[in-house]
Amino acid sequence: MPKLLSRVLWGVIAITGALCLGGIATYRGESINSIWLILAAVCVYLIAFRFYAHFIAAKVMLLDNLRATPAERLRDGHDYEPTNKWIVFGHHFAAIAGPGPLVGPTLAAQFGYLPGTLWIILGCVLGGAVQDFVILFCSMRRNGKSVGQMAREEIGKVGGFVALITVLMIMIILLAVTGLVVVNALKGSPWGTFTIAATMPIAVLMGLYLRFWRPGKVLEVSAIGFVLILLSIFGGEWVSKSESLAPMFTYSGIAIAVMLIVFGFTASALPVWLLLAPRDYLSTFVKLGVVLMLALGILAVRPELQLPAFSRFADGTGPIFAGKIFPFCFITIACGAISGFHSLISSGTTPKLIAREWHAWPVGYGSMLLEGFVAIMAMIAACALQPGVYFAVNSPAGIVGATPAAATATISAWGYAVTPDQMSALAAEVGEQTLFSRTGGAPSLALGMAHIFAKFGGEKILGFWYHFAIMFEALFILTVIDAGTRVGRFMLQDLLGHIYKPLGRTGWMPGVLLTSALVVCGWGYFLYNGVNDPLGGINSLWPLFGIANQLLAAIALCVATTILIKMHGAKFMWVTCLPLSWLIVVTFTAGWQKIFSDSPKIGFLAAADALARGAQTASTSTLIFNNRLDAAVCGTFLVLVAVILVDSIRVWIGLLDGSKPSVLSEAPFVLTQLKPEQV
């Protein structure tokens, strides 16, 4: 493209982005069209990709297409294989996109659309995408080593060990909180429960089909599985209307939590080809399809945002989770802006598939921008709901009241009008008995998505789209639970193997059962207590998960900063230190407030004290213990990351004053032999 035309084009994108950002930041009218958010995000992401990420690639990482990547040098036809960059892009995006970028923005919408949107746009560009990109680069230059291995080699043994413990603890909280999202979506919902229950035999059928009848035909069996799942959604409607069948699929939150715990244990002990793998294939395709559908739907419908730029809960009195915008908006939206878990993917399969070093630019940075765009779409879907409906669905009964009349009166008194008739009509439209206090984000996101999709088929099929969205969310959350329990077991076996050797053997059945049970008991305990929590569980578990996930990102950024200092001294350390400093400030503030805040709605210890001062029952003492346990878990996260941070700073000072040798543990340069047509 001629230079002048290119400059004009980028100038237009920059001006459009600035106008849209300025527009959404200053507009305070009744509603705003979602296209403003989309244009602001797209323009900022394009500019960040073209200029900031290019600068990091060219000047900071010194990417070199002549250097053979591990995919070429260690090519084995299994894990290491030079692959087309768009295929790696699709693979990497599918791996990083989970429930987080959908649920986080939905919950953070309680502050209004503006804080979360700005954080998704800026956090993604300056933090999340930088982390994913730099860690992918570091791993690629080290034969595809994991972030834990790099922490051990670049920072020291303490860093590596602490990283392992932190990941294990985060897994426990992640599995509990995602389990809670599913429980709150399915409790008292025969339609949803039937549909999700049907995914189990469908997945097993797919597994058997793939193993015995048509080996290797994954796309074929996934298409069959998808058709069966669509049929199960129609079947769910029929079941929900049947007087004899509906009670068989109607369960309380506790009952669904127990089923989920039993499922987690059983599924993690089954062979992966039977249930986990086929459902994982299916959930990956459904996830990508729904993301595409949502993008097209939002572009076609361009819904007006009904929630204001700032809601009255910017002051920290929110019903969904308590706490002010700073720091809680920034830990609630994790995966859509910056997620520590991405560093595990960027140092997992992806670096072993990159054919040319410059492919890391679209794969590492670009995939995260796309994930940020998914988060923007989730924010739009949530904010397109009427505010009264949004708060009625997401507010726990312990705050707004247990009856429809009490809940609508409380929410209307906040200035967000809603009536019991309106809520019961909406529940009837989507085939649910009630939509009150369905905390967790999934039901309100499903409602928002259903309203967008239903524009193309009329309100009559709102129920189908609502349950389609619930199925889509539950499908990949169940996969996360199944696979996460398995991974947690491996990590625990790795640790316990140091104490008693047979426990470290993944083929020793007593060890497998014991460690599986320990992991399931770990997340099951938090899930069970989350379901019993009068404030809905999300109030305590989601911030804990957000803090933990962001702290994992802090560990990854410590590793990345150490490597950048070894490469350039202090010159470019700001690239990773900027997001690292922000994360440390945000997460330590949030962690401190969650432990020590005087407000019982925010601080775990204050909540325990308030309960101790009230009337004592059997459940009160459990709640007191749980709050103190949550405080201890939060404190442990902070201590673990403080250890890594202090250890890293000690290493950085040594490297910068020359008392420590600056040794890069990169694989040596080998000239690539790949021809252009091979990549």
Partner 1 sequence: MRSFWKTIVAILRELADENAYARFLHAEGAVASKETWRRFSDHRLKAKYSRARCC
Task: Determine which residue in the list 32, 48, 56, 96 makes contact with partner 1, applying CB under 8 A.
Answer: 96
Q: Among residues 284, 332, 550, 648, which is the contact residue for partner 1, using CB under 8 A?
A: 284
Tokens read off for 36: 């403003």
Does residue 549 touch partner 1 according to CB under 8 A? Answer: yes
Q: Hey, what are 279's tokens?
A: 């459902």
| CA-wise closest residue to 471 among 104, 275, 189, 172 | 189
* Closest residue by Cα to residue 275 from 503, 514, 485: 485
* Nearest by Cα to 560 from 193, 132, 63: 132
- Amino acid (1-letter code) at residue 195: T
Residue 143 engages partner 1 in binding (rule: CB under 8 A): no
Separation CA 53–CA 131 (nearest Å): 11
322-341 residues near partner 1, rule: CB under 8 A: 334-335, 339, 341
Q: Does 658 bind partner 1 (CB under 8 A)?
A: no
- State yes or no: residue 306 binds partner 1 (CB under 8 A): no
Q: How far is the CB of 672 from partner 1 (least distance, A)?
A: 19
Q: What is the dihedral of CA 516, 518, 521, 527, to 10 degrees?
A: -80
Instruction: Name residue, tokens 């049929």.
Output: 231
Minimum CB–partner distance for residue 86 and partner 1 (Å):
5
DSSP 8-class letter at 33: E
Taking CB under 8 A as the rule, does residue 273 contact partner 1? yes
Give the residue among 489, 475, 483, 376 at the shortest CA–CA distance from 39. 376
Distance of CA 581 to the CA centre of its chain: 21
Residue 84 binds partner 1 (CB under 8 A):
yes
Candidate list 17, 70, 99, 443; residue touching partner 1; CB under 8 A: 99
Amino acid at 503: L
Spatial separation of the C-alpha atoms in residues 471 and 113, rounded to whole Å = 26
Report the C-alpha gap between 258 and 531 in whole angstroms: 10
By CB under 8 A, residue 95 contacts partner 1: yes
Closest distance to partner 1 from the beta carbon of 489 (Å)? 10
Residue 87 lies near partner 1 (rule: CB under 8 A): yes
Q: How far is the CB of 83 from partner 1 (least distance, A)?
A: 7
Phi, psi of 434 (to 5 degrees): -155, 155
> Which residue stretch of 411-419, 484-492, 514-522, 623-631 sits at the interface with partner 1 (rule: CB under 8 A)?
484-492
Candidate segments 43-51, 84-92, 117-125, 671-679, binder of partner 1 by CB under 8 A: 84-92
Please state the closest distance from residue 14 (CB atom) to partner 1, in A: 28
Residue 71 as a binder of partner 1 (CB under 8 A): the answer is no
Part in contact with partner 1 (CB under 8 A); list of ranges 299-307, 345-353, 464-472, 554-562: 345-353
Size of the chain, expressed as the number of residues it contains: 679
Nearer to partner 1, 11 or 271 (CB): 271
- Contact criterion met (CB below 8 Å) for 333 and 104: yes
Query: Among 232, 230, 386, which Cα is nearest to 305's?
Result: 386
Determine, following the binding rule CB under 8 A, whether residue 90 of this chain makes contact with partner 1: yes
Q: 352 vs 467, which CB is nearer to partner 1? A: 352
Residue choice 73, 91, 568, 650 for contact with partner 1 (CB under 8 A)? 91
Q: Which of 113, 191, 249, 281 binds partner 1 (CB under 8 A)?
A: 281
Among 486, 566, 594, 601, binds partner 1 (CB under 8 A): 486
Establish if 150 lies at the interface with partner 1 (CB under 8 A). no
- Cα angle, residue 170 at apex, residues 183 and 573 outer, rounded to 5°: 135
- Which helix (H) or strand (E) element contains residue 304? strand 304-305
- Pick from 291, 271, 280: nearest CA to 218: 280
CA dihedral sign of residues 274, 276, 279, 282: negative
Is residue 484 a contact point for partner 1 (CB under 8 A)? yes
Q: How many CB atoms lie within 10 A of CB 454?
A: 21
Q: Which of 487, 513, 518, 629 binds partner 1 (CB under 8 A)?
A: 487
**Binding residues for partner 1, how many (CB under 8 A)?**
58
Point out which residues bind partner 1 (CB under 8 A).
76-79, 81, 83-84, 86-87, 89-91, 94-100, 167, 171, 174, 178, 210-212, 215-219, 222, 272-273, 276-277, 281, 284-285, 288, 334-335, 339, 341-342, 344-345, 348-349, 479-480, 483-484, 486-487, 490, 545, 549
